[in-house]
Amino acid sequence: MKRILTFILCGIMSLCFAACNGGDTNKTYDKLFDTYPSVFVTENITSITFYAYYGEGKGSKVPTENMTEIINWLDSFTIDRVATDEDILDGTNTRFVEIEYSDGTIIKEGLDIINIDGTRYLLKKEPYPDCFTKIISKTTL
């Protein structure tokens, strides 16, 4: 009797697992948009630094006069879709942002692809603001 009950429970769990992993992938993306409406938390930021060269080298800190414009731009970042190997070309994710928050938390993420729970996602964003070119040009290896 225990074996039959175990077999039935395992079968039900397998069906549940298949149902959760199968189906329309757009529903998965819809859930991601609900969970991550914006990729970057833009409240309580104390400083923002941009890096080129795949996040290495010396970054360029965003000047106070450009903070509002950059924060608004970062707020436009959302998840587009799961990144495939074909999406990751030379030059993808060469630029990174490091955000420091008032509680001391620091995050550093790419501006093209983000890794969430082991899955890579392409990012969708507004065109970069004019001040970004000036800021990123000050980065060095």
pLDDT digits (tens, 9 = 90+) for 1-46: 444 333 344 444 443 443 444 443 334 444 444 555 578 888 999 9
According to DSSP, the residues that pair with 78 across neighbouring strands are 124
pLDDT > 70 fraction of the chain, expressed in percent and rounded: 68
How long a stretch of residues is the chain? 141
Classify burial at 53, counting beta carbons within 10 Å of its beta carbon; exposed 0-12, middle 13-18, buried 19 or more: middle
Strand stretches in the chain, DSSP E: 45-51, 60-61, 78-82, 96-101, 106-110, 113-116, 119-124
Task: From 87, 76, 78, select the one nearest 116 (Cα to Cα).
Answer: 78
Mean pLDDT (whole number) for 114-118: 84
CA torsion sign for 108, 116, 84, 128 is negative
pLDDT score at 14: 42
Which stretch of 3-17, 25-39, 84-98, 127-141 has the lowest confidence by average pLDDT?
A: 3-17
CA distance 29 to 8: 32
